[in-house]
Amino acid sequence: MLLGMDAKRKATKGRLGFTIHRTDHTEDEAYYLRGGLTFKETHRGEDHPSVLEHPIQDFKWGDYSAKPNHRYTYKITPAYGTPKNITHSRRSPSPSGRSRRNTKEHTVYFNRGVAGSQAFAQKFPEITKKDLDGQGDNDNAAAVQWLSRGLLEGMCAFIAKAKGKDWGLRVCIFEFTFQPVLDELRKAHLRKADVQVLNDQKSKALREENLPAIAEARISGLVTPRKAAGQGLGHNKFIVLLHKGRPVELWTGSTNIAEWHEEKLTGLNVHVRYVHNKYYQRGSVREQERKHFGKAP
């Protein structure tokens, strides 16, 4: 849940920040949220003190602890005075909302982005970048699940819908190195689904990252390199699900299919259950992509 605050200039005098109180109507709980920015005069050493004592010193706040399909009410209160003597305004807006992941037509996955990197370091102090890449000594399952927040599971479940020869997947992707997803595409191919991947390999850096991962997953025969002479890198990140040659569902967003280390945390993905043919015909502006995707029926 993303909260945004505003204030008139005359209301900023002496203000320390905002306190945020959350009521979870689904689990019948109510409490002040916790933050990470503190006042030196009153900080007692806690990693995440209550915003009641250390107000939020910003005009936006992301509640990364919100759970899917819960109904919340937030009470946002301006805080004034000094760190040792905080007073609170009586005029407090109380926005409410439901953290809905699934609707009839769409599903939205929002993983824990860069803003959650401090929380990750505190929650998993022993996990290193190598661990997240699957090359370290520590089990990374819990850390990857926490970072993913359902996004990885949702992407793999989407690919798994290609259940047989009547189904197909058209993947247009930029970074293409995360083995769990590449493995799911191989599984779809082994189920006789028609899997075709268009992967940007114009730069040497991309080739050095993508090609070993593609070879390791044993899907080289499914991948066509996007060279696109005279054109720049294509930051494409989408998968189209076909049934009997027709586009039926779409997965797209900002997340690369890359390792889950901190530089690659940010991602919002959307699963759309009804796809317009124009999205399937994405290649109409680029000759190679048009040949790869073909003409939608």
pLDDT tens per residue across span 220-254: 999 988 766 666 667 778 898 999 988 888 888 87
For residue 223, the model assigns a pLDDT of 93
Which class for 215: exposed (0-12), middle (13-18), buried (19 or more C-beta within 10 A)?
exposed
85's tokens: 């003597």
In the chain, % of residues over pLDDT 90:
30
Residue 150 and residue 249 in one domain: yes
Q: How confident is the model at residue 21 (pLDDT cuts 50, 70, 90)?
A: very high
Q: Could you tell me the pTM of the whole model? A: 0.71
253's tokens: 């967003």
**Mean pLDDT, rounded, for 12-22:** 90
**Mean pLDDT, rounded, for 30-45:** 88
Residue 143 and residue 286 in one domain: yes
Residue 133 and residue 80 in one domain: no
**What would the pLDDT profile of 94-115 be if each residue is shown by its tens digit?**
665 555 555 566 777 767 666 6
Residue 90 and residue 119 in one domain: no
Q: How confident is the model at residue 285 (pLDDT cuts 50, 70, 90)?
A: very low
Mean pLDDT of the chain: 79
SS3 232: coil
* Residue 73 lies in domain: 2-98
Residue 116 and residue 229 in one domain: yes
What CATH number did the domain enclosing 131 receive? Answer: 3.30.870.10
Produce one character per residue of 96-118: b if its CB has 16 or more CB atoms within 10 Å, e if not.
eeebebeeeeebbbbbbbeebee
Domain boundary among 98, 124, 152: 98
Q: What is the DSSP string of 121-143?
A: HHH-TT--HHHHTT-SSS--HHH
Residue 38 and residue 154 in one domain: no
Tell me how many domains the chain contains.
2
How many CB atoms lie under 10 A from the CB of residue 232?
8
Domain boundary among 50, 72, 98: 98
